[in-house]
Structure 1
Amino acid sequence: MPKAYVFTRYGGPETEALVEVERPVPGPGQVLVAVRAAGVNPVDWKQRTGYRRPGETGEGVFPAVFGNEVSGVVEETGEGVTEPAVGDAVFGRPVEGGYSTYALLSTDLIAAKPDGLSFTDAATLPVAGVTAYDGVRQIGLSPGDTLLVTGAGGGVGVAAVQIARSFGLRVLGLASEGKRDLVESLGATHVPSGDGWTTRVPGTVDGVYDLVGGDVLAEAATLLTDRTRLVTAGAPPAEVERLGGARVVRDRTSAQLAAVAALVVSGDLDPHVTDTFPLERADEALRTVEEGHARGKIVIEVAG
């Protein structure tokens, strides 16, 4: 039977389990995808604790499958779906989780996987890649301006630094000392995190893309004269709005997925997948991200 990595209630890692599940059936406007790879993101473990994205309502349904980004091959199409077709390679956001043998995807949240894009790299784009792309564009800086990215060593941060560089921006990357080499390899100037980090920022900052929230977000805001250039994916709307900034507005369309994939194919964006795990070791993959040990992206490879 198909397998999925789930959480059975809200709580900690003790709620997680690898279980057998029924093969999903696609509804109207959906496709069933045989998952080749699933990206691992902080939001995955946060959802296990009961976290809701801004605007989400309703009670959780258990068991709930982990995972918010997948790549794979279309196995079956639902009513009214003419594209993609069975056998097409695709990537996108699953309807009900992606750490699984099969996943359902809505056709408005899916894109064709280019031949030059691996399934593993494609699985990093629907959340991390698109979030990075949306945030950098939303800040709206001009070539030559300076962008500070907080949390620059994580999956979204790695993508945001590279995308900003491709837009002609000078980039400062706030990250731990252990991630200095990674941040500098992306073409950014490393700013060591920790107490008093704002005093270590070289020169002026024109925009901030925050991926951390909390005190780091508040401290980053003090570096800006124009707070409309403050955007976060690491804090709730109310928290950043009090500082004069905004939450990243995500564009989860097929066109946006295709645009980010094109950056990978062109060489402007390397997802920096630093480790992969089979589905049977999904717990290890999730712990790597939850405990803050990930450098770049972690991916679960479900099938070859």
Structure 2
Amino acid sequence: MSEAFGFREFGGPETHVFFDRPDPVPGPAEVLIRVTAAGVNPSDYKLRAGMAPALYEGRPFPQVLGGEAAGVVLDVGADVEGLAVGDSVFGSALTGAGTYADTTVLHGSYTARKPEGLRDDWAAAIPVAVTTALDAVDQLDLPRGATVLISGVGGGVGLVTAQVARDRGLRVIGTGSTAKRNAAEALGVTFVDYTSGDVPAQMRTLVPGGVDGVVDLVGGPSLRTLAPLATHREKVVSAADPTVADLGGAMVIRRADRADLERAADLLVEGRIDPHITSYPFAQAAEALALVEGGHALGKVVIDMTTAAA
């Protein structure tokens, strides 16, 4: 049996529940892992709220939260190549099995071996936060010296995106709340506090001619306010809001396959990216998710699954 944290029906935090479930059985393309760390993402509470009910069709509640994890392989599906029992790995649970649990199944093609020197909590941040940042900056394909604007720069994806952009020789401007200023500025980001006034006016002072690219991590009104600041609308990408297409931009094209995971891991091991982890024990999984859901998380939130829930 596996202890898990999830939700007993679609809704808000009141639906959260710890429960036991049988260890999942990996399919031919999957690996079963003992989870050591699980990443927390906005998609977790959105799925709990009923954003994609078809994902859970035909599956009884309660459902397990979470979509990314690090851990140790316990079993390998017949079609999985390059992974073996006992390997330390990290990857995505595109299977819908959830990762806030003692054991789960990951998709073999979206799982990679964890290199020596990479902490489990850092590895658990890679499948969503780090690869999203890499994919976004890759997609913009801006030349060295260009200026990129990142909305929501203080979150789990935002701080990594700032570091990837800086590593590519880009000038980085980022928007966020006052509490995120110090962390962003420590990375060399020119910070714009959206709580202190008219963001477009602040931006026109900083870059009168506009920015070369925009990475939107917030969506909604923020996207519609910031997209016009790009000198070319096709250089606006969003990881949060598909209506970016209506503005001439595009959603971030996600990969997160094994090659992408390995590339991201190398950047962390080399010290070129720090995911800025805030770790919670498994017993405080609800508090970890609440921090992300409230928009107050600085950097990436990870659940330490090596601590007992009760």
TM-score bracket for the superposition, by shorter chain length: over 0.9
Aligned pairs for 1:50-199 (under 5 A) are 50-52=50-52, 59=57, 61=59, 62-94=61-93, 95=95, 96-194=97-195, 195-199=197-201
Letter of the 1:242 partner, please give it.
Answer: D
Return closer, same or farther for 1:187/1:60 CA change in 2, 3 Å cut-off. Answer: farther
Shift of 1:207: 0.3
Partners of 1:51 and 1:291 in 2: how far apart?
A: 17
Partners of 2:32 and 2:57 in 1: how far apart?
A: 25
Letter of the 1:104 partner, please give it.
Answer: V
**1:240: which partner in 2?**
244
Work out the percentage of aligned pairs sharing the same amino acid. 45
Structure 1: which 5+ runs fail to align? none
| 8 Å contact from structure 1 (residues 159, 271) kept in 2 | yes
Partners of 2:81 and 2:244 in 1: how far apart?
A: 42
Partners of 2:289 and 2:198 in 1: how far apart?
A: 31
Shift of 1:79: 2.1
Q: Which runs of 4+ in 1 moved over 3 A?
A: 56-61
Shift of 1:114: 0.7
Letter of the 2:246 partner, please give it.
Answer: R
Which secondary structure does the structure 1 equivalent of 2:110 belong to? strand
Letter of the 1:262 partner, please give it.
Answer: D
Shift of 1:59: 3.3
Letter of the 1:138 partner, please give it.
Answer: Q
Cα RMSD, aligned residues only: 1.5
Letter of the 2:233 partner, please give it.
Answer: R
Return closer, same or farther for 1:58/1:19 CA change in 2, 3 Å cut-off. Answer: closer
Partners of 2:98 and 2:236 in 1: how far apart?
A: 31
Structure 2: which 5+ runs fail to align? none
Letter of the 1:290 partner, please give it.
Answer: E
Which secondary structure does the structure 2 equivalent of 1:84 belong to? coil
Where is the helix percentage greater, Structure 1 or Structure 2? 2
Shift of 1:57: 6.4
Shift of 1:9: 1.3
Partners of 1:270 and 1:52 in 2: how far apart?
A: 31
**1:266: which partner in 2?**
270
Aligned length, in residue pairs: 299
Shift of 1:178: 1.5
Letter of the 1:22 partner, please give it.
Answer: P
Shift of 1:7: 1.0
Letter of the 1:44 partner, please give it.
Answer: D
Superposition TM-score, scaled by structure 1 size: 0.95
Shift of 1:252: 2.3
Superposition TM-score, scaled by structure 2 size: 0.93
| 8 Å contact from structure 2 (residues 110, 256) kept in 1 | yes
Shift of 1:80: 3.5
